Amino acid sequence: MPEQQCQEQLAQARAEIARWQADADRTAARLQEAQRQIEALHGVIARLGSDARAQGPQAVEEARCRAEEALRGQAQLQARLDAVLRSRSWRLTRPLRWVVRLMRRD
């Protein structure tokens, strides 16, 4: 194999390694951010748990009711979104949305 081909392959391999390293760095940064968020959520959970214990069973029941209400609201919103995405008008306007996205990129 000629030396020039070896040099080209080496350069390609180095470029690929650099891309992998960049991907690994981005993934590590996302992981660190997720870990920070998890730690923050653990603190919130601990605080809420101590608050709930301090306020008694009534507060726990009220919090449970609010959580259930929020979940029902989320389910209703998801159902509405699903209905829109399945609608005929959404399907028929897909090409128009595609053209608009293309025009905005320029």
User: What confidence tens digit (pLDDT) does each residue in 84-104 have?
Assistant: 989 988 888 888 888 888 888
Q: Average pLDDT for residues 49-72, to the nearest whole number?
A: 80
Domain count, the chain: 2
Q: 95: domain range?
A: 59-106
Is residue 74 located within the same domain as residue 101?
A: yes
Q: Which two tokens stand for residue 13?
A: 């391999």
From 6, 44, 20, 56, select the one nearest 36 (Cα to Cα). Answer: 44
Is residue 8 located within the same domain as residue 36?
A: yes
The residues, any chain, with a CB within 8 Å of residue 32's CB and separated by 6 or more, are none
Residue 78 has pLDDT above 80, yes or no: yes
Question: How far apart, in whole angstroms, are the C-alpha atoms of residue 74 and residue 61?
Answer: 20
